[in-house]
Amino acid sequence: MLLYINCKKTAEPVNNAPVILSLTPSKKNVNFLESITIKADVKDADGDSIIFLWISDKGNFTFTSLDSAVWNAPDSSGRARIALRVNDIFDAFNYDSTVITVQNQIPVISLITATQTNVLVGNIITITATASDPDGGQLMYNWEAAGGEFIGSVTGNEVTWKASTTVSNVSIKVTVTDDNNDFTTSEIVINVFQELGSIWISDTFNDQVVKFASNGTQLLRKSGFNRPQGLALNIADRTLWIADWGGNRVVKLSSGGEELFEVTGLDRPTDIALRANGNAWVTTMGDSNQVVEISHNGTILNKLSGFSDPQSIDVYQLNGDIWIADTGNDRIILLEPQVPNGYNLDLIAGMPVRYDTQFGNYSNPEALEVNQQTGNCWIADTGNHRVVRINKSGSFPFEFVIGGLLNPRGLAVNKLDGSCWVTNTGENEVIKIFSDIFTLPVKEGESYNIDIDAGFHFVIPGYTQPWAVDINVIDGIVWFAENFRLVKVQDLGTNYSIIGGFTNFNAPKSLVINPGSILFK
Task: Give the other-Cβ count within 10 Å of 63's Cβ.
Answer: 11
Domain with CATH 2.60.40.1080 in the chain: 19-103
d(CA 316, CA 374): 9
Residue 9, pLDDT above cutoff 80 = no
> Residues with Cβ < 8 Å from 8, sequence gap 6 or more?
none
Neighbours of 171 (CB within 10 A): 13
Q: Where in the chain is the domain with CATH 2.60.40.10?
A: 108-193
Q: Is 426 helix (H, G, I), strand (E, B) or coil?
A: helix
Q: What is the mean pLDDT of residues 196-216?
A: 94
CA angle 379/385/389 to nearest 5° reads 25
What whole-number distance in Å separates Cα of residue 20 and Cα of residue 263?
Answer: 85
Please choose, from the candidates 325, 277, 311, 339, the residue with its C-alpha nearest in 3D space to the C-alpha of residue 520.
277
Q: What is the DSSP code string of 131-191?
A: EE-TT---EEEEEEESSSEEES-SSSSEEEEE--SS-EEEEEEEEEEETTS-EEEEEEEEE
Task: State mean pLDDT over 467-471.
Answer: 96
Does 19 score more than 80 pLDDT? yes
> Rounded distance, CA 124 to CA 164, Å?
10
pLDDT: which is higher, 519 or 478: 478
Phi, psi of 347 (to 5 degrees): -120, 25
For β-strands 183-193 and 108-114, DSSP reports them as: unpaired
Alpha-helical runs (H) found in 219-295: none
For 470, other C-beta atoms within 10 Å of its C-beta total 26
pLDDT for the residue 474: 83
Name the band, by pLDDT with cuts 50, 70 and 90, for residue 353.
Answer: confident
Where residue 27 falls (left for φ over 0; alpha for ψ -120 to 50; beta otherwise) is beta
Q: Quick one: pLDDT at residue 105? A: 87
CATH 2.120.10.30 range(s) for the chain read 203-513
> What distance in Å separates the CA atoms of residue 222 and residue 259, rounded to the nearest whole number?
10
- To the question of domain 203-513 being in CATH 2.120.10.30, the answer is yes
Query: What is the reported pTM?
Result: 0.74
Mean pLDDT computed over every residue of the chain: 91
Domain 19-103 coded CATH 3.10.105.10: no
Percent of the chain with pLDDT over 70: 95
3-state helix, strand, coil in the chain (%, to 5): 5, 50, 45
Distance between CA 340 and CA 336 in Å, rounded?
9
pLDDT in tens, 374-404: 999 999 999 999 999 998 764 455 789 999 9
State how far the Cα of 192 lies from the Cα of 167, in Å rounded to an integer. Answer: 5
108-193 in CATH: which number? Answer: 2.60.40.10
Amino acid at position 517, single letter: S
Q: Who contacts 485 (Cβ-Cβ below 8 Å, separation ≥6)?
A: 501, 502, 503, 505
Residue range 462-487: average pLDDT?
A: 93
For 407-452, what is each residue's pLDDT tens digit? Answer: 999 999 998 889 999 999 999 999 999 999 988 988 888 899 999 9
